[in-house]
Amino acid sequence: MSAASVYRLPGFLPFLAARLLAVFAVQIQAVVVAWQVYDITRDPLALAYVGLAQFVPMLLLLLPAGDLIDRFDRRLILMLSWLAEGLCAAALLGLSLSEAPITWYYAVLVFYGCARAFTGPALSSLLPQIVPRERLAAAIAANSMIMRAATISGPVLGGALYAIGGGGLTYSTCLLGFLAGAALLPLVPVRYAQPMQALETSAWARFTAGIGFIRSRPIILGTISLDLFAVLLGGVVALLPIYAQEVLEVGPTGLGLLRSAMAVGEVAVGLYLSMRPFNRHVGLVMFAAVALFGLANLVFALSSLFWLSFAALAVAGGADMVSMYIRSSLIQFSTPDAMRGRVNAVNMLFIGSSNELGEFRAGTSAAWFGAVPAALLGCACTLTVTGGWLLGFKSLRRVDRFEDAAPAKA
């Protein structure tokens, strides 16, 4: 059956449309908040606090969120989380119009991080209930590619809207995106959902079940920990406002283009994968992709030319798409439906650590050493981690097909 036929599955297109609108809002908001905070403070450490304010509540809530997602309607939880994120956009709109102190921005981002703790695991757990297992890999690639389209247009439009109408116009757009995404979810049928099972264990036992499952599967542990440390130590996204203002001198519109550059590579690779998903030598391919991610970021760190910086970020995005496609497929193929919420919560904890905590790491490094030395140091760490994991996780290196990650049957 054609990989393209996944788009004809009932409910898949409304799901993609809802997620597209919400991710579009997330991307616009991310670029505008980063620009506003740095524009107000002119302090690289302030960008670190932007990531930390979102990461800490996610860290505290992800495991309880995963437990709730396994016990209640995943569509409803996702809808409520998007509505909460819409409230945050409305609050940021009010702060922007009132020229409030910077501490209020951090307070709103804390609440935003609370909502995101439910969004990520709910989205990942809902997809296998919409599409059949035999088309899950193609659906993951198509879903990832469409989402990256939002990360191309979102930051570009966010930068342009902010240049035209300031925070009021951009945050209003974000609010509409979150509300529209939530409104589309009732149109998504969950045809492949399994009946909810009664969970008699304690709350703590349920919280830790996802961790225990991942620890028992070295392939999954190696996959998500490789992504964690590679992005945590080597990500450059948090440094983009500094590069846009002080290295490349391209302003908020240029910042929007830089924020979308990685998505250009991601969409191009995701489009290919959605049409021609591969399922051979996936372990080695993932290691090669992470190494390429580090090398591309190294080129960006050294570049003072806008076109070269854009191209390097696009290559990094394409490599990251390959890595994400393999990681997501391995996790989905190997996890029972009754445990998807908790396992995906642990996975999102790793992803959140790499993204939000990575922003804190990048911001503090830039404050201590300068933006360019901080980016160079991070790239060196990414390549070192890739080599270490290649040697340390032999089972991941040797995995050939996604089905190899499936739990052994008794």
pLDDT in tens, 82-107: 999 999 999 999 988 887 788 899 99
Q: What is the residue extent of each domain of the chain?
A: 3-190+203-405
What percent of the chain lies above the pLDDT cut of 70? 91
pLDDT for 407 beyond 70? no
pLDDT of residue 86: 95
Give alpha helix (H) positions in 185-250. 203-215, 218-234, 240-242
**Cα-flanking dihedrals φ and ψ of residue 409, to 5°?**
-80, 140
Distance separating alpha carbons of residues 139 and 155, to the nearest angstrom: 25
* Distance in angstroms (rounded) separating the CA atoms of residues 35 and 42: 10
Tokens describing residue 131: 């599409």
How does residue 142 score in pLDDT terms, banded at 50, 70 and 90?
confident
**pLDDT tier at 1 (50, 70, 90 boundaries)?**
very low
The whole-angstrom separation of Cα 228 and Cα 353 is 7
Q: What is the DSSP letter of 168?
A: H
> How far from 102 is each of 34, 41, 130, CA to CA, in Å?
12, 8, 41
**d(Cα 148, Cα 318) in Å, to the nearest integer?**
10
Of 141, 198, 205, whose CA–CA distance to 342 is shortest?
Answer: 205
Q: What is the mean pLDDT of residues 132-155?
A: 74
Length of the chain in terms of residues written: 410
Does the pTM of the predicted model rise above 0.75? Answer: no
Q: Is 409 helix (H, G, I), strand (E, B) or coil?
A: coil
- Amino acid in the structure at residue 218: P
Tokens of 24: 């579009």
| CATH domain 3-190+203-405 topology | Growth Hormone; Chain: A; (1.20.1250)
**Rounded-to-integer distance, Cα 143 and Cα 13, Å:** 10
